[in-house]
Amino acid sequence: MARPRKSVAENLKRNFGANAGRLVDRLGEPVPDGLLGRPPEHLTPGRKALWSRVARSIPKGVATSADAISFEILVELVEAQREGRLALGDRTHLLRLLEQFGLTPASRSKVSAVKPPEKKEDEWGEFKNG
């Protein structure tokens, strides 16, 4: 089984030797700026509750603010599934989204979580205020 793709930042920490240039095409890779967050205001109260319930199931650090639209589609498809109005093609789309968010047993080991930025300790912090 293939390992999940690592971010450029993670790969740059390693020494690639002869393959040092292989990451050049990914240097401009966007970095998500936040977690998934609260449900959008335009959702119905039922979908907002479902958003929160499904969001708690996602492995920590997998869903970010950049995934909000995909996650909204996932919530709509889960609602349709529960109401029995999901077409066969939509079911395939639902399963694919569940896999991308790490919500199936097989996909949990394949998703990569965004690591929070490391907090740098201020070595002079204890002397500043006192």
Residue 53, both tokens: 């319930």
In the chain, how many H helices and how many E strands? 5, 0
Which is higher by pLDDT, 113 or 1? 113
Tell me: the pLDDT tens digits for 34-87? 888 899 999 999 999 999 999 999 988 888 888 999 999 999 999 999 999 999
Neighbours of 21 (CB within 10 A): 8
Residue 64, both tokens: 């970010």
Q: State pTM to two decimals.
A: 0.69
- Max CA distance (Å), the chain: 67
Neighbours of 73 (CB within 10 A): 14
Q: What is the mean pLDDT of the chain?
A: 81
Question: Cα–Cα distance between 128 and 97 in angstroms, integer?
Answer: 49
Q: pLDDT-derived band of residue 99, with 50, 70 and 90 as boundaries?
A: very high
Question: Cα–Cα distance between 115 and 113 in angstroms, integer?
Answer: 6
pLDDT at 4 over 90: no
